[in-house]
Chains A and B, each alone.
Chain A
Amino acid sequence: MIEFHGVEKEFPGRGGGAAVKALDGIDLNIGRGEIFGIIGRSGAGKSTLIRVVNMLERPTSGRVTVAGIDMNALDAAGLRAARRGIGMIFQHFNLLSSRTVYDNVALPLELAGLKRSEIRAKVEPLLDLVGLSDKRDRYPAELSGGQKQRVGIARALSSEPKVLLCDEATSALDPETTTSILRLLADINAKLGLTIVLITHEMAVIKEICHRVAVMEAGRVIEQGDVFDVFTAPRHPTTRSFVSSVVGAELPDTLVERLSAEPLPGGNPVLRITFKGALANTPIISQLTRRFGLDLNILHGRIDHIQGAPFGTLVVEAVGSAEAVQAAITFINVNNLSVEVLGHVPANLRAVG
């Protein structure tokens, strides 16, 4: 649906300084009907990336196509027509303070020159969809942040676009409102088959609704893939730090302090067992105990659900003979769960996680 081919964008440096490369050779393919997340820290270029889709920023080089149309090749009138097929919502909503909820949603249709009756026929169901029918004659100043974003969504949908761009759409909202807006977006995606591209600096947003994700840093896409894969096996350090912010794979400091790389006399190894998808349901702990006579002391653990599939890590201290521990590790690997020895702890360590 949306394709980036070698897209570059340079901004002239401030005060005669060197030019800043906001996008550095972006190649991406966003499929029809998917929710595609782009995550990165501020200044990574994600905002520029989403803005070249509808040519709010013109790429310095490269090509962007939306539904097969080369956006950069369009003339002014062609671009206006193409933009009507691409809705956009913003961090700060960008609603007209001088217009009511109804009139804000009606604006794109007014701009397109529709008749009053046609406008009403389109706006009213949209207000229903976003749950704001009772606020239709209110002004934005009378609404909460979440309600304003709902108006923004209804407005973006009024021209029946095929693509919805979300520019940090939930960053100005509290967590609860964020969840409700994300639910609404997922709902719209399912109901209307709309392709949604969203940029965010919050991994939780990606985890909540995205199907695929691209991680950006310094104007490049450093990692991309299905959300579940990226969350369960992040490759790039930046991705790992994003993932750990929501999955909580980091060990508690008190445990890290006691870990030693070398085996300790009378100490025990510490294992991290990672569960993925259907395998997360394996009763591995009790199996290890029964089969190998190991005592497993759970130090830290977490089971999460990403895109409806469970994913978890369990950090355990394995108390038993070295042979038994080795056999257990082999057994875990054979069962397609991944395991790594994090280190060793003195025997008297009690659970801290």
Chain B
Amino acid sequence: MSQQIFELLVNATIETLYMVGLAGLLGTLMGLPLGVLLATSGRGELLQNLTFNRVAGLLVNATRSTPFIILVVAIIPFTRLIAGTSIGTTAAIVPLTVAAVPFIARLVEGAIREVDHGLIEAAHTMGATPLQIITKILLPEALPAIVLGLTLAAVSLIGYSAMVGAVGGGGLGDLGIRYGYQRFLPEVMAAVVLVLIVLVQLVQSLGEWIARRVNKRSIVS
């Protein structure tokens, strides 16, 4: 592999990490509260608000049912509004984030729903406010599941990020398509695939390690 290709590979990896990292962070910042609200606004729940629950649920489903490549193109005006441009690696963070938010929200919602209802009841008997129940009971108890969910989201984002080449975003996927496929350089394609595999493996292992660390439910003493 030539020096030039190697540099391209390093750059593409950095771009992927940049896009996935920032989209993941923004997605978590918005998806986590949304997930909490989805989980707590249902019937008989802590902050029951059926209208919000239905509307938010619909929006989340709509976003999640749009194939990512379509989403990227469909929200170009929105991307331009936010990023100032619709082309390039930084601009690609916008559709990645838009895809990450509902995905993370659903994962967080699921994790919180798994928390034993008896704990919420116990918190009520202690005179906890709804906000205290969320911050002191639901989030800490759901943390291991949330960490695993975020890991899954990060892995999915790595996959999504391969498609943003369509709007001039960089990254490993874009490198693979342009050099490996369009310029017939199979060794580039192989290298891209290898880096992606290693990346996903690392993210997954890290996520599982953290989830184990924060899980106090099954302790081998």
Tell me the chain A residues, 99-124 only, with Cβ under 8 Å from chain B.
99, 107-108, 110-112
Cβ of B1 under 8 Å from chain A: no
Q: Does the CB pair B127–A111 fall under 8 Å? A: yes
Main secondary structure of the interface of B (DSSP, over half): helix
Cβ of B109 under 8 Å from chain A: no
Q: Does the CB pair A142–B125 fall under 8 Å? A: no
A155 to B219, CA, bound (A): 22
Which of the residues B125, B137, B219 comes within 8 Å of A88, measured between beta carbons? B125
Cβ of A213 under 8 Å from chain B: no
Q: Does the CB pair B118–A90 fall under 8 Å? A: yes
Contacts of B214 in A (CB 8 A): 98
Cβ of B174 under 8 Å from chain A: no
CB distance from B112 to the nearest CB of A (A): 13
CB distance from A325 to the nearest CB of B (A): 59
Task: Identify the closest chain B residue to A113 (Cβ).
Answer: B132
Q: Does the CB pair B127–A108 fall under 8 Å? A: yes
| B125-161 vs A, Cβ < 8 Å mask (1 yes, 0 no) | 1111100100011001101000000000000000000
A168 to B121, CA, bound (A): 15
Cβ of B83 under 8 Å from chain A: no
Q: Does the CB pair A141–B216 fall under 8 Å? A: yes
Q: Does the CB pair A141–B217 fall under 8 Å? A: yes
Contact flag A108-B126 (CB < 8 Å), given A98-B143, A98-B216, A141-B218: yes
Contacts of B217 in A (CB 8 A): 97, 141
Which of the residues A79, A96, A155 comes within 8 Å of B141, measured between beta carbons? A96
Q: Does the CB pair B129–A80 fall under 8 Å? A: yes
| A126-140 vs B, Cβ < 8 Å mask (1 yes, 0 no) | 000000000000111
Cβ of A240 under 8 Å from chain B: no
Cβ of B122 under 8 Å from chain A: yes
Contacts of B116 in A (CB 8 A): 92, 94
Chain A count of residues within 8 A CB distance of the other chain:
32
A111 to B136, CA, bound (A): 8
Cβ of A181 under 8 Å from chain B: no
Contact flag A81-B219 (CB < 8 Å), given A94-B116, A98-B141: no
Task: Identify the closest chain A residue to B119 (Cβ).
Answer: A94
Contact flag A107-B216 (CB < 8 Å), given A84-B126, A94-B118, A96-B119: no
Cβ of B80 under 8 Å from chain A: no
A97 to B136, CA, bound (A): 12
Q: Does the CB pair B126–A159 fall under 8 Å? A: yes
Cβ of A86 under 8 Å from chain B: yes
Cβ of A87 under 8 Å from chain B: yes
Cβ of B221 under 8 Å from chain A: yes
Q: Does the CB pair A96–B125 fall under 8 Å? A: no
A96 to B133, CA, bound (A): 12
Cβ of A18 under 8 Å from chain B: no
Cβ of B124 under 8 Å from chain A: yes
Contact flag A97-B121 (CB < 8 Å), given A84-B127, A107-B136, A112-B127: no
Task: Identify the closest chain B residue to A138 (Cβ).
Answer: B221
CB distance from A254 to the nearest CB of B (A): 46
Cβ of A195 under 8 Å from chain B: no
Which of the residues A56, A99, A110 comes within 8 Å of B121, measured between beta carbons? A56
Contact flag A96-B140 (CB < 8 Å), given A83-B126, A141-B217: yes
Residues of B within 8 A of A (CB): 116, 118-119, 121-129, 132, 136-137, 140-141, 143, 214, 216-219, 221
29 contacts between A and B (CB under 8 A): A56-B125, A79-B127, A80-B127, A80-B128, A81-B127, A82-B127, A83-B127, A84-B127, A86-B125, A87-B125, A88-B125, A90-B122, A92-B116, A94-B119, A94-B122, A97-B216, A98-B214, A98-B216, A107-B126, A108-B126, A110-B136, A111-B127, A111-B128, A111-B136, A138-B221, A139-B219, A141-B216, A141-B218, A165-B125
- Besides A90-B118, A90-B121, A156-B125, 5 new A-B residue pairs in contact (Cβ under 8 A), listed by A number: A84-B127, A94-B119, A94-B121, A141-B217, A155-B126
